[in-house]
Amino acid sequence: MKLDCFKSYDIRGRLGETLDVAIAKRIGAAFADVIGARHVVVGHDARATSPALKAAVIEGLTATGANVSDLGLCGTEEVYFATGHLEADGGIMVTASHNPIDYNGMKLVGPGARPVDPQTELPRIRAVAERGDWSEASTPGTKTLVDTRPAYAERVASLSGDLAGRSFRILANAGNGTAGAAFDAVLDRLGRQGARIDVTRLHFEPDPSFPHGIPNPLLPENRAATAMAVRAQGADLGLAWDGDFDRCFFFDERGDFVDGEYVVALLAEAALAREPGATIVCDPRLVWATTHAIDAGGGRRVLSRTGHAFLKARMREAGAVYGGEMSAHHYFREFFHCDSGMIPWVLVLSLLAASGRPLSAHVAEMRERFPSSGEINFNVPDPGAALEAVEESLGAEAVDADRLDGLSLTFPDWRMNLRASNTEPLLRLNVEARGDRALVERKVAEVSELIRDAAGVAAE
């Protein structure tokens, strides 16, 4: 049996075609068999098919003798936290995050909430699931409903710094996913610590039909509702999450969306305010704003390949306090080196409280110093050929070039990264400059033409 739902880092499949309850049971059993798990944490998102898929995963896990701690309806990071907090052998979150409504999937972690190795463990889990040759126990394992949300909220709130007596107004859009209950738990904990936070809630009830669309604020067309509500409520900060809330997106007090690379820089600044001189890990797509923040905080910058498995591993190697990707995945040492969609807004509140300046002022300064293109996607039949063509044309002029993740070329007044997506058949371009937005536009046009000439395609 061939299982095409296994992807580079996790599991995603079209319902009834590449993923169903029978396959989910196989994956649960294979996971326990390969990891050697005796205790596994599981949870599920708000999609209509998630409870049944989770039940099948649990059936597979318990068939091998593994005991299951079931968190019920929750966010991905709650499974990560509970896996580490309960000292379980692994965790499985049933979620399709921001994928279309006819998809679902799973995110897998091992002991300490570390990623399942995409080069060794994940292929072995797939092989065992396809063959169906896991070892069944004579006595099945047990399932226990567990509530770790109070401990989770306490951990998140513990990173807030001193917000006692501070007042904020927040617009929070949960997108009918699972963020609402976790947000309220964190908010309650911050209130007990003395913070005064007035919240306007938007689309907070989990709804598997997603009446306002699949929650994915990374898409520009999905931002209007949050932006308009921020302006209407006079909020200091707007927040929006994807379906399983492991990604948090920010809007300033004017309702303007904050680009991902500037959020990484803000969180690096906040992390270094808590721990001066610490190490920060970031991906190589857009780095100048983050590098400036790290230098200003006396920190050390370490680059990592894009992708959660690579970045989490690099954080552990480097002893980093924080790691960030411009795609809105943010990782924290105190959170088992995992990504969280709740810790970022808590840290940004701390930064705003300390500075006394609105979020727009912080972001405007970075946008002026380090304007960027945002990510531009190309459908390219041969990414390697396009990369070589760009390097051949521009590489000799660069003051620095590396291939840590695709091709990064640095020039005196601008920089670019061109890389193939890990999950889609796309070539992704990012360009940044020092204080010259017109230069960004010119270089985007120049590199885009090189890509089109090499591959005969147009930008999306």
| Least confident residue range of 13-17, 49-53, 162-166, 279-283 | 162-166
Which residues of 212-356 form beta strands (DSSP E)? 237-241, 248-251, 279-282, 300-303, 322-324, 330-332, 338-339
Q: How many CA atoms lie within 13 A of 65 on its CB side?
A: 11
Q: What is the mean pLDDT of the chain?
A: 96
Residue 251 has pLDDT above 90, yes or no: yes
CATH 3.30.310.50 in the chain, residue ranges: 376-455
Please report the pLDDT score of residue 455 as a whole number. 75
Mean pLDDT of 256-266: 98
Please report the pLDDT score of residue 165 as a whole number. 87
How far is it, in rounded angstroms, from Cα 416 to Cα 391? 11
How far is it, in rounded angstroms, from Cα 93 to Cα 176? 18
Q: Of residues 97, 160, 304, 350, which has the active-site annotation?
A: 97
pTM of the model: 0.95
Residue 458 has pLDDT above 60, yes or no: no
How far is it, in rounded angstroms, from Cα 30 to Cα 34? 6
Return the exposure string of 354-386: e unless at least 16 CB atoms fall within 10 Å of the residue's CB, then b.
eeeeebbebbeebbeebbbbbbbebebeebeeb
Active site residue 50: no
How far is it, in rounded angstroms, from Cα 9 to Cα 2? 17
CATH 3.40.120.10 in the chain, residue ranges: 11-147, 151-369
What pLDDT digit, counting tens, does each position of 58-102 carry? 999 999 999 999 999 999 999 999 999 999 999 999 999 988 999
Residue 422 has pLDDT above 90, yes or no: no
- Domain 151-369: CATH superfamily is Alpha-D-Glucose-1,6-Bisphosphate, subunit A, domain 3 (3.40.120.10)
DSSP state of 335: G
Reduce the DSSP state of residue 219 to 3 states and report it: coil
How far is it, in rounded angstroms, from Cα 442 to Cα 192? 52
User: Beta-carbon neighbour count of residue 225 at 10 Å?
Assistant: 17
Please report the pLDDT score of residue 8 as a whole number. 87
How far is it, in rounded angstroms, from Cα 318 to Cα 236? 35
pLDDT confidence band for 162 (50 / 70 / 90)? confident
Mean pLDDT of 244-259: 97
Mean pLDDT of 266-277: 96
Residue 460 has pLDDT above 80, yes or no: no
What pLDDT digit, counting tens, does each position of 16-34 carry? 999 999 999 999 999 999 9
Is residue 414 a contact partner of residue 434, using CB atoms and an 8 Å limit? yes
pLDDT confidence band for 423 (50 / 70 / 90)? low
How far is it, in rounded angstroms, from Cα 186 to Cα 158? 10
Residue range 376-455, CATH number: 3.30.310.50
| Least confident residue range of 223-227, 287-291, 417-421 | 417-421
Contacts of 87 (CB under 8 A, 6+ apart): 39, 111
Is residue 298 a contact partner of residue 272, using CB atoms and an 8 Å limit? yes
- Strands 167-173 and 400-402 turn out to be unpaired
What pLDDT digit, counting tens, does each position of 177-230 carry? 999 999 999 999 999 999 999 999 999 999 999 999 999 998 999 999 999 999
- The values of phi and psi at residue 167, to 5°, are -120, 135
Cα–Cα distances in angstroms (integers) from residue 162 to residues 159, 195, 196, in the given order: 9, 8, 12
How far is it, in rounded angstroms, from Cα 394 to Cα 373? 18
Quick one: tokens of 318? 């480097």
pLDDT confidence band for 395 (50 / 70 / 90)? very high
Q: Does residue 113 or residue 307 have the better pLDDT? A: 113
Please report the pLDDT score of residue 457 as a whole number. 56
Please report the pLDDT score of residue 459 as a whole number. 44
| Least confident residue range of 150-164, 282-296, 302-316, 416-430 | 416-430
CATH class of 11-147: alpha beta
Taken as a whole, the chain contains a residue count of 460
